[in-house]
């Protein structure tokens, strides 16, 4: 832990000793030991279950007239801190505390008053003690947000299995490659029996893996179809004229508010909505043929 972090989270008397003779520091507001219960973690044992997290956040703020005006609008509200935590927990399921801490800090620093933020997050249920991370971030060092203007219009295309085996697939992919729009292909499971089990969580994993197996089958048919599963990979593919094939497991399992209907086509429609696609179309089995798309 850095000296700055030790001072930020220390009791006031310890802080006074540490700062004796130093120049005045900015005012600080804090939320300590803010506890939430959430699903988070990279281990399989941490999926489909919740655990307690404790947040302690200290924010150094620029001078304001709040103390003189006694007006809540002139200060940084404590709600800004707790709402930043809630917003990032609601955005998606995360594997790492480091990622969560970074996003909470970035969100707080997007407000006008903060100069520096200290974030400590601890897992309370993963061992006999507390497991956690601490970060310090300064205004101007926050992660830049994605510029939506740099991302071309997206069309999501669901390919039925007869479309995957269509002899016209190479010509179809030629057209996609020459089109300035971005394309992501979605598939369902192959025409083969998928194992069925009674456990709902296990069945969900099995069904998603069956779809990913078929995505890799499409990739083996034509190497221009690149299987991707993360938002970062998808964004890169959209910006670089790559024909991506969605492997759904990560985005679906990490979603805080995932799809209610996990049938393949509805899963693809949910994905299109999450990605902000301009269009969603289906090819094969009573829908448009490849020659009629995009």
Q: Is 180 in a helix, a strand, or coil?
A: coil
Residue 123 known to be catalytic: yes
Host H or E run for residue 253: helix 249-254
- The active-site residue, picked from 88, 102, 122, 123, is 123
Catalytic annotation, pick one of 46, 92, 111, 233? 46
Told to judge if 250 belongs to the known catalytic residues of this protein, a careful annotator would answer: no
Give 280's contacts (C-beta < 8 A, 6+ positions apart): 155, 156, 157, 158, 268, 269, 272
Q: Dihedral angle at the C-alpha atoms of 129, 132, 136, 140, nearest 10 degrees?
A: -160
Rounded distance between C-alpha atoms, residue 27 and residue 179, angstroms:
54
CA distance readout (Å), 63 to 12, 82, 113, 140, 185:
20, 21, 8, 18, 52
CB 64 within 8 A of CB 74: yes
For residue 43, which of 94, 103, 90, 99 has the smallest C-alpha distance? 94
* Half-sphere CA count of 221, side-chain side, radius 13 A: 17
- The set of catalytic residues is 46, 123
């Amino acid at each position: 832990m850095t000296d700055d972090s030790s001072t930020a989270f220390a009791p006031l008397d310890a802080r006074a000793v540490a700062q004796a003779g130093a120049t005045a520091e900015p005012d600080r507001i804090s939320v300590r030991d803010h506890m939430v219960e959430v699903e988070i973690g990279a281990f399989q044992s941490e999926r489909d279950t919740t655990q307690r997290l404790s947040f302690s956040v200290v924010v150094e703020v620029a001078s304001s007239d709040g103390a003189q005006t006694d007006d809540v609008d002139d200060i940084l509200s404590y709600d800004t801190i707790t709402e930043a935590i809630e917003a990032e927990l609601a955005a998606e399921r995360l594997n790492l505390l480091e990622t969560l801490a970074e996003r909470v800090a970035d969100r707080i620093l997007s407000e006008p008053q903060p100069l520096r933020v200290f974030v400590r997050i601890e897992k309370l249920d993963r061992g006999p003690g507390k497991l956690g991370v601490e970060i310090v971030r300064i205004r101007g060092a926050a992660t830049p947000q994605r510029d939506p203007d740099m991302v071309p219009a997206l069309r999501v295309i669901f390919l039925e299995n007869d479309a995957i085996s269509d002899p016209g697939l190479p010509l179809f992919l030629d057209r996609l490659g020459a089109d300035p729009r971005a394309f992501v292909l979605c598939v369902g499971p192959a025409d083969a029996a998928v194992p069925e089990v009674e456990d709902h969580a296990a069945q969900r994993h099995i069904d998603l893996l069956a779809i990913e197996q078929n995505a890799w089958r499409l990739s083996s048919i034509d190497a221009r179809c690149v299987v991707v599963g993360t938002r970062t990979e998808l964004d890169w593919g959209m910006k670089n004229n790559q024909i991506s094939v969605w492997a759904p497991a990560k985005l679906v399992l990490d979603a805080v508010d995932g799809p209610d209907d996990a049938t393949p086509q509805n899963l693809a429609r949910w994905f299109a909505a999450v990605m902000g696609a301009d269009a969603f179309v289906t090819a094969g089995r009573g829908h448009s043929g490849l020659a009629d798309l995009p």
